[in-house]
A and B are shown apart, each in its own frame.
Chain A
Amino acid sequence: DAGVIQSPRHEVTEMGQEVTLRCKPISGHNSLFWYRQTMMRGLELLIYFNNNVPIDDSGMPEDRFSAKMPNASFSTLKIQPSEPRDSAVYFCASSHPNSQIYEQYFGPGTRLTVT
């Protein structure tokens, strides 16, 4: 298996622009997680889905952030409009909830820089 796939790997954009991050979970995994990592705040869970349904989005910082999972093999995280404080590495992770261990597998991340 290719593992969790994220694109793009790097994104540089100007403040005010829309940014869309993409994630393809491991095939067969039913849960998908979006995380943000910064030096100041560490690793933060933004939102997670189970069977394509958002279960907990309490970590989404504000209305500028939105996430969708239209099917079991694809999810997007959108920031509109973007701001410099959104600069971070965004990780997607997936897990198989039928496994009692619930181990999460992480993608390589998208490094977002908003200027």
Chain B
Amino acid sequence: AQSVSQHNHHVILSEAASLELGCNYSYGGTVNLFWYVQYPGQHLQLLLKYFSGDPLVKGIKGFEAEFIKSKFSFNLRKPSVQWSDTAEYFCAVLSRGNYQLIWGAGTKLIIKP
């Protein structure tokens, strides 16, 4: 069965620190990859997505993610985090031809001011 692993459930960083959140998936075929963000008390919003082409994807608010097919990974990065980045981040994978997103368990990110 397809699955998505986010290895870090909680991450605490200071402002201006660099961020990398891990995401690995188990599916050998062609995939679409997503990172969603959920700010406290709000709904999930799309941060960035990979469909095809350049494996380095730029998203909103300075986030980026790199698709490494050989590692089945789609890690999220930001060079310098801000207090407002405090949120929960979800990685999701969709296999082509399927309607369902397979979700990771989420990573709660807390940025200390």
Contact = CB atoms under 8 A, between A and B. Distances in A.
A43 B99 contact: no
Contacts of A91: 43-44
Contact of A109 (B34, B43, B96, B99): B43
Nearest to A91: B43
Contacts of A56: 100
Nearest to A41: B105
A31 B43 contact: no
B46 interface: yes
Interface string A93-115: 10101001111111111000000
Interface residues of B, number: 19
A53 to B, nearest CB: 11
Contacts, number: 45
A95 to B, nearest CB: 7
A106 B43 contact: yes
Contact of B106 (A43, A55, A97, A105): A43
A45 B100 contact: yes
A22 B51 CA distance: 31
A57 B69 CA distance: 31
Contacts of A103: 34, 46, 49
Contacts of A106: 36, 43-45
Interface in A32-57: 33, 42-43, 45, 48, 50, 55-56
Interface string B80-106: 000000000010001010011101011
Contacts of B51: 100-101
A56 B32 CA distance: 20
Contact of A48 (B32, B90, B100): B100
Interface of A: 31, 33, 42-43, 45, 48, 50, 55-56, 91, 93, 95, 97, 100-109
